[in-house]
Amino acid sequence: MSSIQVVHSIDSCRLAVSKVRAQGHSVGFVPTMGALHDGHGSLIAAAVRECDFVVVSIFVNPLQFGASEDLSDYPSTFQQDCDLASTLGADLVFAPDTTEMASSTSLTTVSVAELSQRWEGASRPTHFDGVSTIVTKLFSIVGECKAYFGEKDFQQLAIVRRLAADLSLPVTVVGCPTVRTESGLALSSRNSYLSESQLQDASVISEALYTGKELIESGETDVVQIKQAITARVVQAERLSLDYVAVVDPTSLEPIDEVEGEVRLLIAAAVGETRLIDNLAAALGVVSNG
């Protein structure tokens, strides 16, 4: 059993954090939907390295799920999550009730225009407004902090950076690299839905991205060629259904035609009923990564 402090109400979270801040301690914040894995663990570890007091929130945000999505099936491993957060050195788990966090009487939505509409937003039209609204509310509860988000959800990271800047929130958003399995598959709570053979199929998603990245690093600048190579790799795996492949500017997420400097490769594909996303940094002749 972990000894980490767990609070459920907004007031008790605010109180606990304001006490430590009044003592002059810096605050790190890692928002999650639980079912924690080593990807979440890397964010918590980064927060613990850089901040005096670390809050991990666990909240399956109903506002970011579409009507036909997996809200009711979303995995939950609360006690294990608390144990992991505690082992990694976090100080507080904030696990709010849905009624308080996403009240059905709330009239307010936070929406980051343009960035929220493309890619994941095109396939999941209400998703990012749900994310932005709840992340803004979490930021208002935790207050001044460094907040850690994974590059795994690259569009989400761009949107959260933008909302924090646009609303002058006292939050420094820190992006952390994607944690992968040995086969390259990005860790995701949704991987728990996959069978052994589906996990193998799913690893083709990252393989396809690495194909695109290598092409760029060997000097290919034509985005049509790069997207074709990525698509061809996915199509070979017959049980993957491709949603989109994109080569984008890493800040605006706008599609580009010709690679110059650093770009981001984005992909979404479904394995059976499970939709997965991934992305990679790539630059002409440069091996950087995330």
Judged by the rule CB under 6 A, the positions of this chain that interact with ligand AMP are: 32-33, 39-40, 42-43, 149-150, 152-153, 176, 178-179, 186-189
DSSP-assigned letter for residue 152: G
Task: Report the residue number, 94 or 149, with the smaller CB distance to ligand AMP.
Answer: 149
Nearer to ligand AMP, 42 or 203 (CB): 42
Least distance CB 10 / ligand AMP (angstroms): 19
- 261 vs 245: CA distance, rounded Å: 19
φ and ψ at residue 41, rounded to 5 degrees? -60, -35
**To the nearest 10°, the Cα dihedral for 225, 228, 234, 240?**
150
Residue among 58 and 226 whose Cβ is closer to ligand AMP: 58
In angstroms, give the least distance from the CB of 124 to ligand AMP. Answer: 14
Q: How far is the CB of 219 from ligand AMP (least distance, A)?
A: 29
Shortest reach from residue 267's CB to ligand AMP, in Å: 14
In which element (H, E) is residue 244 found? strand 240-248
- Helix and strand numbers (H, E) in the chain are 9, 9
Per-residue buried b or exposed e for 137-168, using 16+ beta carbons within 10 Å of the residue's own CB = bbbebbbebbbbbbbbbbbbbbbbbbbbeeee
Tell me the closest approach of the beta carbon of residue 221 to ligand AMP, in angstroms: 29
Q: Which is nearer to ligand AMP, 110 or 226 (CB)?
A: 110
How far is the CA of 195 from the CAs of 69, 83, 274, 277, in angstroms? 19, 26, 11, 18
Catalytic residue among 8, 25, 37, 40: 40
Residue type, 205: I
Structure tokens at 290: 């995330």
**Residue whose CB is less far from ligand AMP, 188 or 198:** 188
Is 127 considered catalytic here? no
E strand or H helix at 160: helix 154-166
Could you give phi then psi for residue 219, rounded to 5 degrees? 115, -5
In this complex, which beta carbon is closest to ligand AMP, that of residue 183 or of residue 225?
Answer: 183
CB 138 within 8 A of CB 277: no
Q: What are phi and psi of 173, to 5 degrees?
A: -90, 125
Q: How far is the CB of 84 from ligand AMP (least distance, A)?
A: 12
Residues with a catalytic annotation lie at: 40
